[in-house]
Structure 1
Amino acid sequence: MEIWLILLLFFCLCAAYKSFLNLSSHGKAKAKQSKLSLPPGPLKLPIIGNLLWLYNSFSELEQILHCLRQKYGPIITLHIGSRPTIFITTHSLAHQALVENGVAFADRPPATASDRIITTNQHNINSANYGPLWRVLRRNLTSEMLHPSRVKSFSHARKWVLQLLKVRFKSHVESGEPVLVVDHFQYAMFCLLVFMCFGEKLDEKVIREVEDVERTLLVNFRLFNILGFFPLLGKIFFRKRWQLLLDVRQRQDSVIIPLIRARRERKEKNLENTDEFFVSYVDTMFNLQLPEEGGRKLTEQEMVSLCSEFLNAGTDTTSTALQWIMANLVKNQQIQERLYSEIEGVLGIDEEIKEEDLAKMPYLKAVVLEGLRRHPPGHFVLPHAVKEDVMLDGHVIPKNAMVNFAVSEIGRDPEVWKDPMEFKPERFLSNEGEMFDITGSREIKMMPFGAGRRICPGLGLAVLHLEYFVANLIRDFKWAAVEGIDIDLSEKLEFTVVMKNPLQAHISPRVKSADQLLI
């Protein structure tokens, strides 16, 4: 009995000593970080942090951050759940983090249970941690699909989609009725991305089925995000949302996996040697190997996640940006006419716009860049994370903290841009002919595609699509406001930041008859 008492006393003393050491080291660390603490922010509640305060205001997060910036400075801490989230609101700090300390800020936060379902355990480019898997997936996309020669091979697909848009606009031209452009733009861009993904012009019924399941995922993404805040209790209190997530994912697999299998079968029959075969994104996945996982190949579910990422990233952002640009061209007729004059000056009267002609149109590029600056489709990037404590602007960014960047705030900073809320493409025209660096490698003035190692790999493709469709839509049609309806540039948060009141416009042909537009 005495032995047990001695052992018990010994363990109590050990526990007390360990507690003392922990308190001592904590006190020293606290003293050490008294000058190097977390970036400032509003008071938080235990466990839930600032979540209750933000719950009804996620759509107004930009306004909240703008106010907090006036009080706390350019780098702010909010506690969303138990984990701190750092918001960076200035171009100089964004450059320090993403470019000068690119490796440190290149990771992603730990995935939530709902994220792992959507991304097949983080097997896509956006969600993968910074490491071998991310490098393999990103290199495959950039070298196999986004290489200039491969992008050029899809020029016929862009021309086909442009014709789809013109056919849809023909009835509005003939009737004089205004056109609500948002659905037309989204469908056209989706058709283009589906062709690039699967290499074929699928039936409209199939395209609509794929579009519907992807749209369901996007429409409900905020509902699914809530599941990540309280992972232990979420499955109890949000049972219906969990079931909806599982149902959407199951339906996504049931719609896209047959397309993957059909493409694999066609490839195995050596039909890639025919004139009608185009290398698609799915084709590049079949022999892809994952070195950190024993060199295994991708599963069908992982291919679904990569296809979904490709379709959504290339559709919603581009169609949203296109609508914002066209809205500003309707609102500012003098800009529209200057752009039309430039296009006509480069082309002959009856010539079609070739993609190589776009490089000869600096004002077109300026219009697109100004649209991306003034109306970035995403007002925040996907969250970054750091793997270890990092110093920034005299503060500690703690290990595993989420870090985000106020894209819209940076692109509308009055200290960088004169009259930042005005739509002025001329600001991108350099007298010296120097091209604006949208990547932010030298200096970040705007970052609609992010910056640094996690910059959107589809940047070049997105700009090409915007320039191509804006040029053709202005070349073929004159766009005017509907009488009695002002162009409203108010914003609304969906998957991207869209027009609160979608663009309606009267379109009229710039050639003699509407039939000529369809030749």
Structure 2
Amino acid sequence: MEDWLYHSLSITFCLAVSLLLSSLRPVTGKPPLPPGPPLLSLIGPLIFLGRTNFSIERIISAARSRYGPVFTLYLLPSRPAIFVADHAVAHRALVQRGAAFADRPPANLPSRIFSSNQHNITSGAYGPLWLVLRRNLTGKVFQPSRLRRFAGARRRAVAGLVAGVTRQMSADGVVVVEGLLHRAMFRVLTSMCFGEGLAADGVVASVEALQREFLTSAIGFQVFGVCPAVTKLVFRRRWKRMLSLRHRQEELLVPLIRACRAQRDTAVAGDSAAVDSYVDSLLGLRIPEDGGTRNLTDGEMVSLCSEFLVAGTDSTAAVVQWIMANLVAQPEIQGRLRAEIRQVAGASIQEEHLPRMPFLRAVVLEGLRRHPPGHFVLPHAATETDGGGVTLEGFSVPRHTSVNFTVAGMGLDEAVWPDARRFRPERFLPGGEGADVDLTGGKEIKMMPFGAGRRICPGMALALLHLEFVVANLVAEFEWREVAGEPVEFAEKQELSVVMRRPLRASVVRCTRNERT
């Protein structure tokens, strides 16, 4: 009831302001905003109410057809959002002119609460703080030698995943893999975040439960991004739940951070174990403030740890499930992949085998193309210039305006990807259809789902490693088939990532040792 009260009031307000805005003439002498329909602020209340069954993508597709590859939608009155729906334009903006679009739009209230006022990487404004945080992550956590330190954690997580599948098989042969994937990924990322010594089963379970609650609730919290003085009153229970969730994050993660600090303080000087986890790197980090530097607060480290855990678990688990769904629906692809794994790795898959499995990499890349975990990259914004903004394709992009790139739509562009809705890993093999399309940047353009420009995803190598290692082990150990009378459903649901609306159920049979060797 409270949702629809807010919805009705919002529509009335949006209509009034939109009509007023549509009557105003643009300032002469400046490039105009990209074209677009003026009254789409009607959809704003639906989005910010967290209606996960409401899809904006049909509106975006229609706007792309009518207005071209760059257009403006007023999701809320006086708050234009610019959309880029073309590979070549995205490449020019994010790669060739990456510095011009390197910023983020101002964070809304929920984002500020969970990011400690934008003291994280995904929402932080481009500047000295962001650079320090990102360089720390890439140099001390995602550096290849550091990633190798957690190979044991990955092996144990996959062993637990295989054991979980085996337990579910013992009942009726039907496996629901979604929860098992999340548990496996949280095992790895909890070890990387706090160190293997603190990643006991109970800790992993607690971290998983709390962060999964955050993932499933985050969309609904966006209602507080609109008129928070009003929405905090109208949605009192939701507001209290959001504050409680943040408080519980601190209650759970701060003791783990302090345990890392105690271990670091007692470590022998020069011992490499002193920087053995993400938290270890944060404890010694100095961030810029007021002309000087300071250490991170516990609350800021909670925000960074939460960001690290969410980014490394949710999207990976979602993509693995999408890939396995496609392998269930197309057993011939699954068979070809299993044959490659047997030929290269035999009975035991090691991480060093993965670079010698080109079809496995093609399957993973096709999964990311067809089912990107986010249908849009995180919004960008123009960096500050003398004129208060920049231009894009001849249009004005004002300072702080959200610039959005339609990753999912680009992945379905038939001009680049023939038969785009079909899951065809061969297109990522040498000579495959769409593999050699040149759009003033070649394959770099088509890799846009992984990021571009100065914000190229620092975790791309880790994500591909996790995706390949998990998929390879699931296919090597088991044969995955459709449950009789239950064809795979590919309907989507928006959480923090885009997930399967109906989690994959598969009939699973253990491969014999001869088959695995």
What interval of TM-score do these two structures reach, taking the shorter chain for normalisation?
Answer: 0.7 to 0.9
Please show how residues 256-271 of structure 1 align to structure 2 within 5 Å. Answer: 256-270=253-267
The counterpart of 2:132, out of the listed 136, 143, 154, is: 136
Q: Secondary structure at the match of 2:36?
A: coil
Q: Aligned-pair distance for 1:101?
A: 1.3
Q: Secondary structure at the match of 2:481?
A: strand
Higher mean displacement: 335-344 or 169-178: 169-178
1:333 lines up with 2:334 in the alignment: no
Residue identity in the other structure for 2:69: P
Unaligned runs of 5+ in 2: 1-23
Q: Any conservation in 2 of the 1:482–1:506 contact (CA below 8 Å)?
A: yes
Alignment match, 2:153: 157
Q: Any conservation in 2 of the 1:194–1:311 contact (CA below 8 Å)?
A: yes
Q: Any conservation in 1 of the 2:168–2:174 contact (CA below 8 Å)?
A: yes
CA distance 1:170–1:275, shift in 2 (3 Å): farther
Q: Secondary structure at the match of 1:219?
A: helix
The counterpart of 2:111, out of the listed 112, 115, 119, is: 115
Distance 1:179 1:39 in 2: 48
Q: Secondary structure at the match of 1:505?
A: strand
CA distance 1:273–1:485, shift in 2 (3 Å): farther
Alignment match, 2:61: 66
Deviations 1:305-348 (A, max 9, x none): 01000000000000000001111111111111111111111134
Q: Secondary structure at the match of 2:445?
A: coil
Please show how residues 36-435 of structure 1 align to structure 2 within 5 Å. Answer: 36-44=31-39, 51-52=44-45, 59-81=54-76, 82-200=78-196, 202-270=199-267, 279-293=276-290, 294-348=292-346, 350=347, 352-386=348-382, 387=384, 388-431=388-431
Alignment match, 1:488: 489
Residue identity in the other structure for 1:264: R
Residue identity in the other structure for 1:241: R
Q: Aligned-pair distance for 1:44?
A: 2.6
Distance 1:299 1:359 in 2: 40
Residue identity in the other structure for 1:347: A
Distance 2:113 2:176 in 1: 35
Higher mean displacement: 191-200 or 49-58: 49-58
Q: Any conservation in 1 of the 2:111–2:118 contact (CA below 8 Å)?
A: yes
CA distance 1:324–1:251, shift in 2 (3 Å): same
CA distance 1:502–1:442, shift in 2 (3 Å): closer
Unaligned runs of 5+ in 1: 1-25
Distance 1:402 1:49 in 2: 18
Q: Any conservation in 2 of the 1:69–1:76 contact (CA below 8 Å)?
A: yes
Q: Secondary structure at the match of 1:79?
A: strand
Q: Any conservation in 1 of the 2:275–2:281 contact (CA below 8 Å)?
A: no
CA distance 1:481–1:276, shift in 2 (3 Å): farther
Q: Aligned-pair distance for 1:442?
A: 6.3
Residue identity in the other structure for 1:108: R
Q: Aligned-pair distance for 1:513?
A: 9.9
CA distance 1:77–1:273, shift in 2 (3 Å): same
Residue identity in the other structure for 1:397: V
Distance 2:233 2:333 in 1: 55
Q: Any conservation in 1 of the 2:416–2:437 contact (CA below 8 Å)?
A: no
Q: Aligned-pair distance for 1:511?
A: 2.0
Residue identity in the other structure for 2:288: P
1:458 lines up with 2:455 in the alignment: no
Distance 1:370 1:404 in 2: 22
Deviations 1:259-283 (A, max 9, x none): 1111111221217988998701111
Higher mean displacement: 93-102 or 52-61: 52-61
Q: Aligned-pair distance for 1:116?
A: 1.4
Distance 2:224 2:256 in 1: 30
Q: Any conservation in 2 of the 1:172–1:507 contact (CA below 8 Å)?
A: no
CA distance 1:431–1:40, shift in 2 (3 Å): closer
CA distance 1:113–1:49, shift in 2 (3 Å): same
Residue identity in the other structure for 1:245: M
Distance 2:269 2:484 in 1: 52
The alignment yields a C-alpha RMSD, in angstroms, of 2.7
Distance 1:170 1:274 in 2: 40
Q: Any conservation in 2 of the 1:84–1:402 contact (CA below 8 Å)?
A: yes
Residue identity in the other structure for 1:63: R
Distance 1:261 1:173 in 2: 41
Identical columns (%): 47
Residue identity in the other structure for 1:364: L
Q: Aligned-pair distance for 1:100?
A: 1.4
Alignment match, 1:3: none
Q: Any conservation in 1 of the 2:358–2:429 contact (CA below 8 Å)?
A: yes
Q: Secondary structure at the match of 1:340?
A: helix
Distance 1:225 1:435 in 2: 40
CA distance 1:510–1:85, shift in 2 (3 Å): same
Residue identity in the other structure for 1:499: M
Q: Secondary structure at the match of 2:449?
A: coil
Compute the TM-score of the two structures, normalised by the length of structure 1: 0.87
CA distance 1:305–1:406, shift in 2 (3 Å): same
Deviations 1:94-150 (A, max 9, x none): 111111111111101112222211100111111111011011000000011101111
Q: Secondary structure at the match of 2:165?
A: helix
Alignment match, 1:472: 473
1:444 lines up with 2:449 in the alignment: no
Residue identity in the other structure for 1:419: D
Residue identity in the other structure for 2:191: F
Distance 1:151 1:441 in 2: 29
Q: Aligned-pair distance for 1:235?
A: 3.1
Deviations 1:400-431 (A, max 9, x none): 11111111001111111000000100001114
Q: Any conservation in 2 of the 1:441–1:451 contact (CA below 8 Å)?
A: no
Residue identity in the other structure for 2:294: R
Higher mean displacement: 211-220 or 184-193: 211-220
CA distance 1:276–1:30, shift in 2 (3 Å): closer
Q: Any conservation in 2 of the 1:43–1:50 contact (CA below 8 Å)?
A: no
Compute the TM-score of the two structures, normalised by the length of structure 2: 0.87
CA distance 1:513–1:186, shift in 2 (3 Å): farther
CA distance 1:417–1:240, shift in 2 (3 Å): same
Q: Which has the larger radius of gyration?
A: 1
CA distance 1:347–1:246, shift in 2 (3 Å): closer
Q: Any conservation in 1 of the 2:379–2:403 contact (CA below 8 Å)?
A: yes
CA distance 1:153–1:53, shift in 2 (3 Å): closer
Deviations 1:35-78 (A, max 9, x none): x3111111238xx6752576687631112211221122211211
Alignment match, 1:6: none
